[in-house]
Amino acid sequence: MTQAPIEQNTSSETPDTQPAKSTNNESLLVNLLFNIIIPTLILTKLSGEDYLGTKLAIVVALAFPIAYGVRDFTRTGKMNFFSALGVISIFLTGGMSILELDPKYIAIKEAAIPGCFGLATLISLKTRYPLVKTFLYNDKILQVDKVAEALKHHGTEAAFDKALINASYLIALSFLISSILNYVLAKVLLVSPPGTEAFNAELGKMTALSFPVIAVPATIVMMGALFYLFKQIQKLTHLTLEDILIHQ
């Protein structure tokens, strides 16, 4: 998810703003280390019999993103659905690898999870709680009460509902892109027999490439959905971006 651009006065930063920025940078670095860099290095460099061996290397490598997810839960005290699903996905990848199942099952699993998100986004449009409000239109990003009041004042609530539907299609598209790229990446890279050092190296390479190959294109589409929704809100409420964003 992308953060909305919040206009701030940079000419007079207070000391209080600096630790927050440093913490965010540290959090991103720790995220990359635990979820991508360390697992990749373990799978590609330590899977030989002289080091951890193929199965133990998988267990150790996958322990890092799992530990990060547990740490995040204990730190915030809240169970994030998407983080939980990510941990489950890691368990499945590890289990399939240790059981030496055909790599095609990993490819199917890699495609299925974002595919399910995209399908759930579309299905949720038929419910009272469309997922677009979780992803984009929520009170952590926008002053939703203020937006709702302005929509009612201008009589543009129906037009906004259509905009939410269009944004949902864009979100579903981002998940579809992720699903296709996940599957293609797994099929192209995982070609060696499971239980071999070469397979672990391929698994590590897939982990390393998952961010630039999968996350970046999907994030660009998600950003497009966010930009579209912001423009529609401004158009239908006659409010400025500064008026509707949450200021922190």
DSSP of 92-144, one letter per residue?
HHHHHHHTT--HHHHHHHHHHHHHHHHHHHHHGGGSSS-THHHHTSSTTTB-H
- pLDDT tens for each residue of 124-143: 988 888 888 877 887 777 88
Share of the chain above pLDDT 90, in %: 30
Cβ atoms of 167 and 131 within 8 Å: the answer is no
Total tally of structural domains belonging to the chain = 1
Range of the domain at 204: 21-244
Token code pair at residue 19: 């630790």
Q: How large is the average pLDDT for residues 61-88? A: 74
Q: How large is the average pLDDT for residues 65-82? A: 72
Residue 237 placed within a domain: yes
- pLDDT tens for each residue of 35-69: 777 888 888 888 888 778 888 888 888 888 888 87
Residue 12 placed within a domain: no
Q: How large is the average pLDDT for residues 4-11? A: 37
Across all residues in the chain, what is the average pLDDT?
81
Residue 5 placed within a domain: no
Q: What is the pLDDT of residue 25?
A: 46
Residue 33 placed within a domain: yes
Q: How large is the average pLDDT for residues 235-242? A: 90
Residue 13 placed within a domain: no
Q: How large is the average pLDDT for residues 79-94? A: 71
Selection from 128, 209, 120 nearest residue 171 by Cα = 120
Residue 4 placed within a domain: no
